[in-house]
Structure 1
Amino acid sequence: MRQSHIFLLTVVIPVIFSKENSTRGKHCVCELQNADPAFPENKLNNVEFSAIQCSRNITSEKITEIDRLMLGLQHRIRQLLDNVSMLEKEDNGNLYAAVSLRIIELELAEIQELMDKLNRTTNDYQQQGLQTAAKFHDMTETMAELEKFDNLQIIAKERENEIIKRDLERCNEELNGTSQPPTLSPGHCGLGRMVNVSGPKTYSLTEFGTSYPYGAWGRDANPTPGNENKYWLVVLTSSNVYGNFIRQYNSLSTIILGIESTDTYISSSNPTTNTIQGSNMVMYANALYYNCYYTYSVCQFNLTTQSVSTVALPSDTGYNNKFPFGHLDNTYSYTDMDFTTDESGVYVIYATTSNFGNVVISKVETSNPPVFGQTWSTSLHKKSVTNTFMVCGVLYATRYLDKETEQIFYSYDTKTNIERYDLEFNITKRQTNIQFLNYDSRDHLLYVYSDAYIVSYEIVFQ
């Protein structure tokens, strides 16, 4: 849209009196003369025309055309691989089916055509980009020349106003970024808002040493009578992927010293049916909840009866290292499912293809066998996260900042369905990676397994 401008005119007004007949009276004639050069309206029209042309040439549909061609090419290549595999199965004495060979020949021709079209389109867009850049340079120079006619500095003032508006928006974003994360009402769990994560309070190498960097530890979030002070530890002793026993200690000091422990075996060896897969697991009501070996199912191992019950997640759930936690420098293998506890019970955090690899939260009803309660879908992509935990029905997610710092940056309130990506609670690390993290509602601590070390942090509430 063309802006209106006000120009300062130097006006020369010679007053000419003329005497006319009495019926018409006397008139003053004013002659206006503009002392400034004439405004080059044709240049402004040319800039406007060039801008319209650029808008027509560069559209979102054209920009995504290359993406569509790439997706089509990938699809045809996958289809070709499937057909070649089928052709190999039809081999009978080194003789292949003529029809299948003809189909593959046609598919190769179509793939070549797609590649030619992709190359032509890419070249056209490169040329168009160069032309548009040249036009933009010319338009910028012309507008700078036309701005000299703005004697009242209207454009300059508008530019200053835009800078002030942008600064105000940035200030508002910073204020919102430092606001407190959401929690359920204090009446639900009586904690108030999270304000800090302090620690570590505990930092100790396990009795297994540094050979086993993957594992989990903590306390039973809902212990049976007599087990209130016990701590549990699971290390993945097979390829950093599988575990088949739980080690329990009577106190924090005994787990730190690695003494007076009791082992309970889920299976006799690794990996096999009911084996623990991945490091994210929790203990609740004397039962361990974990990802069953090589399935998209939840396993519940009852330590009293030493029996296993299972319940299957949706069939499109990522498992077997499809949607693990991780960051740019590392992937935490086989962490497709994350089990967490809070004041109300057990949850499983996972991702599905129907939710585009984003995090899904399901409440696990701790019956025998377990069943799933309410489920929530989020917009948080699981592979962009290093771990999750729950507090008072709010899911929190962490990300890797550097070797010394992990950050709680995201929350999802299951009561209000409100998501936030602007949290900034930093966790000071002693080791580079965090393979396991869970919140204990009994002592408000985060229990962390970090490169073979057991660590704890305290969540500070307002």
Structure 2
Amino acid sequence: MAGIVLLTCALLSFATTITGQGQQVFLEYMQGRIGVLEERITQWHDQSSRYSSELREFKNKVLTLLENIEKERESLRNEMENTNVRVDRLEREVDYMETQNPAPPCVEVDEKLTELQNKKKKKYEKLTGCPTAEIHGNEETDVAINPPTIRKSYCSDTISQVSAMKILKRFGSTSGLWTKDPVGNSEKVYIFDGVGNDTVFVFSRMKEFTLSSSSRKAAKIKLPFPWIGTGHVVYQGNLYYIRHEQDNEFQVIKFNLANKTVVDSAVLPIEEQVPVYGLSQFSYIDIVADEEGLWAIYATKENEKNICLAKIDPSNLGIEQMWDTPCPIENAESAFVVCGALYVVYNTKLPSRSRIQCVFDVSGTISSENVPIIYFPKRYGSHSSMKYNPKEKQIYAWDDGYQIIYKLTMKSKEDLD
């Protein structure tokens, strides 16, 4: 504005030098231009005032919206806290109800008992080459065909509860296996990444495995044959793993870890095998170790609804005894043996909490009826393997790529009600 005034004064001073009619025309021109400038200044002032007013209104609206959002956020947070409290209360109530009302034992009565016995006789003749017709009804033959389900056991421990859980790290694929040798003083950790491979990663001790960022720091053992599934175990310096051969046959390989050679191999006397766990379709035989030695957990088409158990001689891979258990395959996730008792872990297709719901003791001391349902803590997905270490009394689990240790609390079988 000051610049316009100075310009006007200069023009008026210039106009004084003009005389007559020229001066009148010049003044009229200047008055017209000044009028246009004043009109534009007035328009700018009006627009500026309007914009300022609109900006204040927008600011007030934004502040109001922010206040409402903050109130809604606080309300939502309170609702979430209340929901969490209600969910926790509901879980405790469900746990209590399941503890007070355990699932009924999974036992099925076979109405065609005679037909089943005939099948077992034929199977015995095929495997041994010894006819049973000549000594039919003999007590010794019946024992050979249908071995007794009672077996003496020098171990009297049973699982009381899962007392602690430790998540070590995430290593490798979603499915796999990790374990230690329960016999001797070796601290080596063996990693089987995936459900089909031929390379085992070996860490010298647990701390090295926990702190390592990749498999490059691990020693590697190249196996002569690739493995299948997650049913392998390290026992007494040997690796016992499952190999898939032609015609859907599965071979147990005994591999010495010291000299890197195959010590022995055997095809178990099992026909028409099916996946042993309903939720882990990649495992057909699960070799496990406990306080009494090695066991094989498997399933066949002949008894496709329930899991079977066999005692293995670790020296020559021979089968010492076989059992048909009442534990169903459906929704089974994994299993392990403790003191001669098979513990089957169940879940659902939509992962929830794993639980031990079926127990089969070869000594006949405990059963699913007198053992409470044992839950494992909340986890990531689904256990692809759970390996019990009888020396440490804990389980090495592989859960959706995470390596987890479950510490077990034991009690005597005699203390069961």
Scaled by the length of structure 2, what TM-score is found? 0.57
Residue of structure 2 equivalent to 1:326: 278
Specify the SS of the correspondent of 1:428: coil
Residue of structure 1 equivalent to 2:347: 400
Deviations 1:271-300 (A, max 9, x none): xxx310011211101111122123222222
Deviations 1:389-422 (A, max 9, x none): 0111110001115634100111001112764267
Distance in 2, Cα, partners of 1:383 & 1:288:
29
Matched AA of 2:179 = G
On the 8 A contact 2:153/2:340 being kept in 1, the answer is: no
Specify the SS of the correspondent of 1:359: strand
On the 8 A contact 1:250/1:260 being kept in 2, the answer is: no
Deviations 1:305-341 (A, max 9, x none): 32232111234241xxx324234xxxx2321111211
On the 8 A contact 2:294/2:312 being kept in 1, the answer is: yes
Distance 1:220 1:461, change over 3 A: same
Specify the SS of the correspondent of 1:352: coil
On the 8 A contact 1:350/1:382 being kept in 2, the answer is: no
Residue of structure 2 equivalent to 1:371: 318
Greater radius of gyration (CA): 2
Distance in 1, Cα, partners of 2:393 & 2:313:
22
Quote how far apart the aligned CAs of 1:384 are: 3.4
Check if 1:345 corresponds to 2:299: no
Matched AA of 2:219 = T
Residue of structure 1 equivalent to 2:238: 287
Residue of structure 2 equivalent to 1:73: none
Distance 1:399 1:370, change over 3 A: same
On the 8 A contact 2:182/2:389 being kept in 1, the answer is: yes
Residue of structure 1 equivalent to 2:28: none
Residue of structure 1 equivalent to 2:37: none
Quote how far apart the aligned CAs of 1:372 are: 1.6
Quote how far apart the aligned CAs of 1:439 are: 0.8
Scaled by the length of structure 1, what TM-score is found? 0.52
Distance 1:186 1:372, change over 3 A: closer
Residue of structure 1 equivalent to 2:170: 205
Check if 1:438 corresponds to 2:387: yes
Distance in 2, Cα, partners of 1:364 & 1:393:
12
Q: Tell me, which stretches of 5 or more residues in structure 1 are unaligned?
A: 1-172, 179-183, 268-273
Distance in 2, Cα, partners of 1:284 & 1:348:
13
Match of 2:271 among 300, 316, 335: 316
Residue of structure 1 equivalent to 2:29: none
Specify the SS of the correspondent of 1:253: helix
On the 8 A contact 1:195/1:461 being kept in 2, the answer is: yes
Residue of structure 2 equivalent to 1:196: 161
Match of 2:192 among 234, 246, 258: 234
Distance in 2, Cα, partners of 1:174 & 1:264:
45
Distance in 2, Cα, partners of 1:287 & 1:448:
20
Distance 1:176 1:187, change over 3 A: farther
On the 8 A contact 2:253/2:265 being kept in 1, the answer is: yes
Cα RMSD (Å): 2.9
Quote how far apart the aligned CAs of 1:196 are: 0.9
Matched AA of 1:289 = Y
Quote how far apart the aligned CAs of 1:458 are: 0.7
Distance in 2, Cα, partners of 1:411 & 1:366:
24
Quote how far apart the aligned CAs of 1:188 are: 2.7
Runs of 4+ more than 6 Å apart:
184-187
Residue of structure 1 equivalent to 2:176: 215
Residue of structure 2 equivalent to 1:428: 377
Distance 1:315 1:324, change over 3 A: closer
Residue of structure 2 equivalent to 1:385: 332
Distance in 2, Cα, partners of 1:428 & 1:404:
10
Check if 1:256 corresponds to 2:210: yes
Quote how far apart the aligned CAs of 1:354 are: 2.6
Residue of structure 1 equivalent to 2:21: none
Residue of structure 2 equivalent to 1:453: 402
Q: In the comparison of the two structures, how many residue pairs are matched?
A: 260
Distance in 2, Cα, partners of 1:200 & 1:174:
21
Quote how far apart the aligned CAs of 1:243 are: 1.5
Quote how far apart the aligned CAs of 1:355 are: 2.6
Matched AA of 2:207 = S
Identity %, equivalent residues? 22
Specify the SS of the correspondent of 2:167: strand
Deviations 1:137-162 (A, max 9, x none): xxxxxxxxxxxxxxxxxxxxxxxxxx
Quote how far apart the aligned CAs of 1:194 are: 2.2
On the 8 A contact 2:294/2:314 being kept in 1, the answer is: yes
Matched AA of 1:280 = G
Specify the SS of the correspondent of 2:359: strand
Specify the SS of the correspondent of 1:256: helix
Deviations 1:405-454 (A, max 9, x none): 10011100111276426741100132111000011011101110111111
Q: Superposed, which structure 2 residues align to 1:37-56 within 5 Å?
A: none
Specify the SS of the correspondent of 2:182: coil
Distance in 1, Cα, partners of 2:398 & 2:290:
18
Residue of structure 1 equivalent to 2:284: 336
Specify the SS of the correspondent of 2:376: strand
Distance in 2, Cα, partners of 1:417 & 1:377:
16
On the 8 A contact 1:446/1:457 being kept in 2, the answer is: yes
Distance 1:187 1:286, change over 3 A: closer
Quote how far apart the aligned CAs of 1:203 are: 3.0
Quote how far apart the aligned CAs of 1:190 are: 5.5
